[in-house]
């Protein structure tokens, strides 16, 4: 029943392909029957099903909770409620249900280590706002070891169930403006996960993250369901690097039934992401569903393997399905992002059933990521192999940006990039062509018209 509600919403959104869903419509849906509170003001735990595709591992099955803790708040939007939050989490850990009450504002100004959680429900009904003290957060947010990622809080543990229909607000505007002045600013992600297992995060509204909305590291058997993401800049300074999800050193992750309006990857599989299912997403304004970037760091062996992406609707994005790998030569994509020379593999990745609406490239395989000099890329082919990749059942129209091309298959060498298939690709550019740039690939396996001109090279 619940899946059909989600599917109905996604179908309605897809029918108006270039429209962003209104806050009123989404909030009304989130407060439907699945969001009604019990007499003790706790939310019913959502019944989560993975459909139509099933993950390779049985989903988590949270046990009943036997204690309820209500989080206190100063409710003034300026006084730090972190102590109240920690008190409730410790009191109800190991078998409890923690409630962030509906209609209450919670203000967080302290970095919180929440990796101790176990057998607990976090029922977020209210509004959680993180402070805009950029000086404090740059000094105290939790660092990860990948691409300067930090987080407001570090979420970890076992059997953690988070839901409730409430909002987490990263107060991103101050960060968007600060990053425009200094690209070395350390911007926290909204939800930083480190060592979370057998857990479900669902029915949440996420707004204005300074950087990624989710960074999922060292996690296993976690489901994300019914997440609504949005948060564009209100100034001339763009909200950059606001990926919906980035997975890193994690396996058996499911991301499904969600609406994402952002300015970077809708979902990105970073190094050592395996056994991941993504399905039933509506993505607007993003950079696509992306593998990588990989091979950035010399001495690191990156793996992305066993990925299935199904039934994704892409609107007003730079890419639909994307694989991006650094070449085996040092290169600088930007002042704060450079690399190349790493090793590893991308293997068994399938993109199945994707709607393309005003997307620059429906499909992009780029083994020269960050390197605008094609001669150097071919002279120093990537050390990271790409094999057993399937793109199938794509439909729609690209933007005018790269027409007549609808995509690109750019491998630095046929020996490190092979067995790439694209079938039933019913995507056209605005002028009616289905051209694609093809380099060092088996053109007979691609349902496009191959050309030798790459309009989208970095």
How does pLDDT run across 131-146, given as a tens digit for each residue?
A: 999 999 999 999 998 8
Q: Give the SS3 label for residue 61.
A: coil
Q: Is the dihedral of CA 340, 316, 254, 126 positive or negative?
A: positive
The answer on pLDDT for 16 being more than 80 is no
The answer on pLDDT for 352 being more than 90 is yes
The answer on pLDDT for 10 being more than 60 is no
Domain ranges of the chain: 2-59+127-451
Q: Give the SS3 label for residue 99.
A: strand
Q: Give the SS3 label for residue 391.
A: strand
Query: How many CB atoms are closer than 10 A to CB 126?
Result: 21
Residue 24's H or E segment, with its range, is helix 23-30
State mean pLDDT over 103-108.
98
How does pLDDT run across 24-74, given as a tens digit for each residue?
A: 443 443 343 333 455 579 999 999 999 999 999 999 999 999 999 999 999
| Residue found by looking up tokens 């099933």 in the block | 54
Confidence category of residue 200, pLDDT binned at 50, 70, 90: very high
The answer on pLDDT for 334 being more than 70 is no
Which residues, 6+ apart, have CB-to-CB distance to 257 below 8 Å? 3, 6, 7, 10, 225, 226, 279, 280, 281
Structure confidence at residue 6 (pLDDT)? 45
Q: How far apart are CA 346 and CA 280, in angstroms?
A: 23
Query: What is the Cα 176 distance to its own chain's centre?
Result: 19
Confidence category of residue 372, pLDDT binned at 50, 70, 90: confident
The answer on pLDDT for 251 being more than 60 is yes
Look over the chain and give the mean of its residue pLDDT values, rounded to a whole number.
Answer: 90
Query: How many CB atoms are closer than 10 A to CB 421?
Result: 16
Q: What is the DSSP string of 252-312?
A: EEEEEEEEEE-SS-SEEE-SSEEEEEEEEEEEESS--EEEEEES-STT-EEEEEEEEEEEE
Q: Which two tokens stand for residue 305?
A: 């393997």
In sequence order, what are the beta bridge partners of 155? 114, 193
Structure confidence at residue 382 (pLDDT)? 86
The lowest-confidence range among 100-104, 125-129, 324-328 is 324-328
* Cα–Cα distances in angstroms (integers) from residue 122 to residues 2, 212, 226, 272, 437, in the given order: 20, 21, 16, 28, 48
Whether 221 and 252 have beta carbons less than 8 Å apart is answered as yes
Confidence category of residue 230, pLDDT binned at 50, 70, 90: very high
The answer on pLDDT for 428 being more than 60 is yes
Whether 435 and 406 have beta carbons less than 8 Å apart is answered as yes
> What are the start-end ranges of the H helices in 112-182?
134-140, 173-181
Q: Which two tokens stand for residue 56?
A: 């390779």
In sequence order, what are the beta bridge partners of 398? 359
The answer on pLDDT for 274 being more than 90 is yes
Confidence category of residue 332, pLDDT binned at 50, 70, 90: low
Q: Give the SS3 label for residue 55.
A: coil
Structure confidence at residue 29 (pLDDT)? 37
Q: How far apart are CA 173 and CA 141, in angstroms?
A: 18
Which residues form the catalytic set? 287
Structure confidence at residue 335 (pLDDT)? 59
The answer on pLDDT for 279 being more than 90 is yes
Q: What is the DSSP string of 350-363?
A: EEEEEEEEEESEEE
Query: How many CB atoms are closer than 10 A to CB 56?
Result: 13
State mean pLDDT over 169-188.
97
State mean pLDDT over 251-271.
97
Backbone angles phi, psi at 24, to 5 degrees: -65, -45
- Superfamily of structural domain 2-59+127-451: Single-stranded right-handed beta-helix, Pectin lyase-like (2.160.20.10)
């Amino acid at each position: 029943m619940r899946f059909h509600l989600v599917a109905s919403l996604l179908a309605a959104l897809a029918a108006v392909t270039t429209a962003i869903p209104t806050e009123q419509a989404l909030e009304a849906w989130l407060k439907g029957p699945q969001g009604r509170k019990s007499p003790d003001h706790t939310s019913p735990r959502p019944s989560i099903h993975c459909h139509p595709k099933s993950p390779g591992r049985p989903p988590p099955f949270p046990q009943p909770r036997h204690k309820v803790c209500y989080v206190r708040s100063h409710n003034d939007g300026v006084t730090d409620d972190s102590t109240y939050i920690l008190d409730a989490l410790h009191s109800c850990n190991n078998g409890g249900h923690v409630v962030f009450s509906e209609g209450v504002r919670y203000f967080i100004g302290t970095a919180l280590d929440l990796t101790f959680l176990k057998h607990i429900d976090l029922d977020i009904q209210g509004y959680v706002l993180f402070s805009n003290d950029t000086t404090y957060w740059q000094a105290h947010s939790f660092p990860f070891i990948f691409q300067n990622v930090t987080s407001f809080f570090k979420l970890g543990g076992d059997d953690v169930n988070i839901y409730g229909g409430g909002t987490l607000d990263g107060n991103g505007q101050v960060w968007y403006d600060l990053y425009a002045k200094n690209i070395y600013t350390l911007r926290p992600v909204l939800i930083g996960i480190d060592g979370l297992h057998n857990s479900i995060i669902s029915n949440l509204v996420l707004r204005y993250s300074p950087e990624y909305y989710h960074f999922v590291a060292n996690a296993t058997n976690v489901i994300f369901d019914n997440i609504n993401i949005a948060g564009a800049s209100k100034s001339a300074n763009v909200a950059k690097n606001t990926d919906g999800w980035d997975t890193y050193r994690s396996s058996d992750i499911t991301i499904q039934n969600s609406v994402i309006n952002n300015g970077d990857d809708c979902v990105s599989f970073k190094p050592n992401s395996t056994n991941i299912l993504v399905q039933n997403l509506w993505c607007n304004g993003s950079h696509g569903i992306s593998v990588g970037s990989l091979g950035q760091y010399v001495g690191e062996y990156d793996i992305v393997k066993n990925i299935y992406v199904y039934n994704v609707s892409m609107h007003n994005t730079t890419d639909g399905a994307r694989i991006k790998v650094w070449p085996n030569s040092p290169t600088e994509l930007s002042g704060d992002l450079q690399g190349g020379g790493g090793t590893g593999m991308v293997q068994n990745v399938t993109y199945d059933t994707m709607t393309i609406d005003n997307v620059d490239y429906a499909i992009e395989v780029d083994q020269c990521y960050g390197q605008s000099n094609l001669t150097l890329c071919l002279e120093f082919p990537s050390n990271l192999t790409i094999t057993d990749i399937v793109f199938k059942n794509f439909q729609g129209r690209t933007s005018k940006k790269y027409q007549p091309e609808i995509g690109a298959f750019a491998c630095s060498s046929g020996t490190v990039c092979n067995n790439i298939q694209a079938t039933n690709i019913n995507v056209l550019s605005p002028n009616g062509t289905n051209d694609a740039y093809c380099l060092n690939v088996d053109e007979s396996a691609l349902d496009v018209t191959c050309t030798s001109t790459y309009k989208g090279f970095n």
